[in-house]
């Protein structure tokens, strides 16, 4: 593959956009499948998928057609007005999650889904304490940020958290008893931590959390914003590990780029929610629902869960080369542990025309590729890594 020189963003972004994001040296002009085309017409293999969003890749024909069709039919009505597409999306999602007893509340973003999950847990238990896991990321709003590891020191920005929070070290099954008590409303956990560098917390730890929540009457919340929607090769990590949470949040791949998120909850919990106790203007809008339906259709029709499992296994079997000394995560949520700073390896891969992501672990490069990845793309990654100094 010809090397792609790093390009700088042509638009003077700083003149118009708040300078809160670090930018990769890449400006995307268009995209197709797993390929981005930069503003100089050069192709870049996207193994990052816009932070795990572009599950179907780019310009997916059925997804694009579904959005165009819905835009022509009716682009928006609020939740005050019934729409068949909303019911279909919720029904499909429940069926996909293999949680036949669940109910869905549709919102706009991962943080909003988590915010509502925590609100429900605090209200229905009438408790004020939440347990989260070290390394976890749950979003940047008041409640979601309060349970995000490291947020208080780095970026939280609110004068105080809206409830008491304790953090439990990852995998510390023995510590669960002391932290999760009869004061605890909820435990929130990413079953496979994303930003932390694709860290699978494993079935035993999650099952231990489930047991303790049952003992003390706390609710278990799985944040599957990043690891859900087929990314692990199963519908959700809950399915992967055989642990059923009380509340499950998902977003990112859910809409393949049309902003949307969902909160799934047990029917027993949803029965406790009075009318108007939750709300949203855009959540569950028909465009979002058409996107969700198209994503679920494509995952099923194209057998993408199988593909995720197969390609995830291929990456694990073939990409421990060059600066990669170990591989962690699940399915296509992959952490490549590097012998050198991951940022350095990321920059070198981008020079070879491959976009990857980093993580909060400076030695872990994160891959979140579209599910439509093929063997040849993994081979391109392996060959590029092989050429890099260990």
Ligand X SMILES: Cc1ncc(COP(=O)(O)O)c(C=O)c1O
* Residue whose CB is less far from ligand X, 227 or 388: 227
Is the Cβ of residue 37 or residue 360 nearer to ligand X in the bound state? 360
Q: Could you give the CA distance from residue 161 to residue 130 in angstroms, rounded to a whole number?
A: 11
CB of 8 to ligand X, least distance (A): 26
Q: Which residue is nearest to ligand X (CB)?
A: 110
Cβ at position 246, least distance to ligand X in Å:
17
Q: Considering beta carbons, is residue 83 or 121 the nearer one to ligand X?
A: 121
Least gap, CB of 312 to ligand X (angstroms): 18
| Minimal distance, residue 235 CB to ligand X, in Å | 16
Q: Which is nearer to ligand X, 33 or 110 (CB)?
A: 110
CB 73 within 8 A of CB 312: no
Please check whether residue 269 is in contact with residue 99, taking contact to mean a CB–CB distance below 8 angstroms: no
Taking CA atoms, 365 is separated from 23, 90, 178, 382, in Å, by: 16, 34, 34, 14
Residues 6 or more apart whose Cβ sits within 8 Å of residue 387: 322, 352
Nearer to ligand X, 168 or 352 (CB): 168
Q: How far is the CB of 334 from ligand X (least distance, A)?
A: 15
Nearest approach, Cβ of 194 to ligand X (angstroms)? 4
Give the nearest distance from C-beta 248 to ligand X in angstroms. 12
CB atoms within 10 A of CB 80: 6
**Where in 110-236 does DSSP place strands (E)?**
129-133, 164-168, 184-189, 192-193, 199-200, 219-223
Instruction: Give least dist CB 261 to ligand X, A.
Output: 6
Contact assessment for residue 148 and residue 137, using Cβ atoms and an 8 Å cutoff: yes
* CB distance 335 to 345 below 8 Å: no
Q: In terms of CB distance, is 51 or 211 closer to ligand X? A: 51
Nearer to ligand X, 139 or 353 (CB): 139
Sign of the dihedral through C-alpha 185, 191, 192, 194: negative
Q: Which is nearer to ligand X, 226 or 363 (CB)?
A: 226
Dig out the tokens for 144 from the structure.
């979601």
> Is the sign of the CA dihedral 328, 359, 208, 203 positive or negative?
negative
Residues lying near ligand X in the complex (CB under 6 A): 51, 109-111, 114, 137-139, 190, 194-195, 223, 225-226, 251
H helices within 162-303, ranges in order? 176-179, 202-216, 237-241, 267-270, 286-301
């Amino acid at each position: 593959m010809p090397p792609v020189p790093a390009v700088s963003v042509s638009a003077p972004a700083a003149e118009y956009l708040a300078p809160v994001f670090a930018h990769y040296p890449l400006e995307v002009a268009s995209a197709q499948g797993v390929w981005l085309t930069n503003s100089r017409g050069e192709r870049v293999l996207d193994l990052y998928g816009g932070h795990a969003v572009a599950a179907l890749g780019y310009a997916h024909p059925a997804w694009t057609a579904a959005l165009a069709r819905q835009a022509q039919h009716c682009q928006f009505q609020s939740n005050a007005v019934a729409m068949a597409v909303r019911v279909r999306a919720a029904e499909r999602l429940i069926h996909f999650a293999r949680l036949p007893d669940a109910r869905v509340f549709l919102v706009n973003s991962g943080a909003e889904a988590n915010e509502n999950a925590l609100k429900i847990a605090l209200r229905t238990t009438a408790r004020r304490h939440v347990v989260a896991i070290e390394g976890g990321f749950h979003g940047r709003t008041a409640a979601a940020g309060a349970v995000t590891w490291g947020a208080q020191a780095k970026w939280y920005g609110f004068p105080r958290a809206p409830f008491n929070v304790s953090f439990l070290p990852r995998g510390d099954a023995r510590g669960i008893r002391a932290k999760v008590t009869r004061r605890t409303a909820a435990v929130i956990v990413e079953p496979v931590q994303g930003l932390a560098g694709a860290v699978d917390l494993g079935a035993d730890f999650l099952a231990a959390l489930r047991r303790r929540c049952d003992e003390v009457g706390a609710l278990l919340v799985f944040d599957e914003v990043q690891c859900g929607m087929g990314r692990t090769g199963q519908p959700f990590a809950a399915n992967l590990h055989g642990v059923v949470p009380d509340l499950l949040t998902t977003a990112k791949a859910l809409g393949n780029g049309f902003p949307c998120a969902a909160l799934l909850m047990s029917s027993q919990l949803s029965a406790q929610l009075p009318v108007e106790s939750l709300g949203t203007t855009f959540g569950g809008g028909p465009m979002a629902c058409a996107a969700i339906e198209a994503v679920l259709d494509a995952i099923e029709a194209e057998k993408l869960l199988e593909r995720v499992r197969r390609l995830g296994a291929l990456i694990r079997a073939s990409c421990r080369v060059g600066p990669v000394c170990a591989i962690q995560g699940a399915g296509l949520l992959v952490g490549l542990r590097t012998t050198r700073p991951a940022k350095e390896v990321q920059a070198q891969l981008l020079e070879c025309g491959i976009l990857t992501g980093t993580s909060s672990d400076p030695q872990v490069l994160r891959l979140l590729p579209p599910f439509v990845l093929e063997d040849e793309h993994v081979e391109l990654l392996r060959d590029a890594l092989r050429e890099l100094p260990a």
